[in-house]
Chain A
Amino acid sequence: MSASSELAVLVRLPAEVALHARPAGVFVREAARAAAEIRVEANGRSANAKSILDVLALGATGGTELAISACGADAAEALERLSQLVAHLT
C-alpha cells in the first residue's frame, strides 16, 4: 500500500455517547498519536481529527456515523485504533 493513499472507515458512535468534552478529548488524543493526517466527518462537517475545537464543532451526538479518513504511512493502524476507540467509547 502506498504511503500517500487515503484510507477511510465508517464507524458509529455508541447510542449514548456524544463526541463532546471527555470522549472528544479521548478521540483527539488517540488521533494525535498518529503521524498520518486524519479527518473526521459527521453531520456534513469535516474536522481535523487532531484539533479538539474542530472535533467539538462537529456536534456529533450519540449514534452519529463518523467517516474517518487518514493519509500517511501509519494511516491503516491509526484508523483501526480510532474505529475501535469510537465503538467502545463510554
Chain B
Amino acid sequence: MGLVIVSHSAPLAAGLAELVAQVAGADVPIEVVGGGPGGTLGTDGERVLEALRRAAHGSGAVVLMDLGSSVLAVKAALAELADDERGRLRVADAPLVEGAIAAGVTASTGDDANGVLRAAEEARHVGKL
C-alpha cells in the first residue's frame, strides 16, 4: 500500500515525501505531484492523473491533497480512471503533513487500505501541544 501526495507546490510535496520516508522507512511507495504547468504554484490535472495511474496497481494507495484545487484535480482525475484503477485508490480527508506521516507509518506496518486511510483521517484529531 502506497501514498500519493498532491500539493500546489512541488517542493512541498517532495519535502513531505522525504519526511514520510524518514519516519516510515523507505519501503512505502510514494507518488508525488506538485505545482502547476511550467513549475508554477498550482495544480496540473494531467500530472495528477498520471500519478494516480502509476499508484493504482497492486495493493493501491491512499491519496492525500493539500487544499482546494488539489482536491478538485484529484476528483477530476479519479473520474478519468478505469473502475479497477479507481478501486485501488482511497482519498483521505486529512491534514496533509500529519495525515501523510500517519498513513506512511501505518502502511509500513503492512496494514490494509482501511487501516491506512483511518490513520490518515484520524490525524486531524491528534493534538500537537
A87 close to B (CB within 8 Å)? no
Q: A21-B22, A53-B102 given as contacts; is B127 within 8 A of A29 (CB)?
A: no
B126 touching A21 by the CB < 8 A rule? Answer: no
Render B79-106 as a binary contact track against A, CB cut-off 8 A, 1 for contact: 0000000000000000000100110011
Kindly list chain A residues whose C-beta atoms are within 8 Å of the C-beta of B22.
Answer: 21-22, 25
A53 touching B123 by the CB < 8 A rule? Answer: yes
Interface residues on A, range: 10 to 19
B127 touching A25 by the CB < 8 A rule? Answer: no
Kindly list chain A residues whose C-beta atoms are within 8 Å of the C-beta of B98.
Answer: 53
> A52 CA to B109 CA in the complex, in Å?
12
Kindly list chain B residues whose C-beta atoms are within 8 Å of the C-beta of A54.
Answer: 126
Q: Which residue of A lies closest to B123 (CB)?
A: A53
At the interface, is chain A mostly helix, strand, loop or mixed? Answer: helix
Render A14-46 as a binary contact track against B, CB cut-off 8 A, 1 for contact: 000000011011001100110000000000000
Q: A29-B108, A52-B102 given as contacts; is B23 within 8 A of A24 (CB)?
A: yes
Kindly list chain A residues whose C-beta atoms are within 8 Å of the C-beta of B127.
Answer: 57
Kindly list chain A residues whose C-beta atoms are within 8 Å of the C-beta of B119.
Answer: 51
A57 touching B109 by the CB < 8 A rule? Answer: no
Contact among A33, A52, A57 with B105 in the assembled complex (CB-CB below 8 Å): A52
Render A49-70 as a binary contact track against B, CB cut-off 8 A, 1 for contact: 0011110110000000000000
> A51 CA to B109 CA in the complex, in Å?
12
> A11 CA to B123 CA in the complex, in Å?
27
B123 touching A33 by the CB < 8 A rule? Answer: no
Measured CB to CB, the closest approach of chain A to B110, in angstroms, equals: 9
A51 touching B102 by the CB < 8 A rule? Answer: yes
B128 touching A25 by the CB < 8 A rule? Answer: no
Kindly list chain B residues whose C-beta atoms are within 8 Å of the C-beta of A25.
Answer: 22-25, 105, 108
What are 21 A-B contacts with C-beta separation under 8 Å? A21-B22, A21-B23, A22-B22, A25-B23, A25-B25, A29-B24, A29-B108, A32-B109, A32-B111, A33-B109, A51-B126, A52-B101, A52-B102, A52-B105, A53-B98, A53-B123, A53-B126, A54-B126, A56-B101, A57-B128, A57-B129
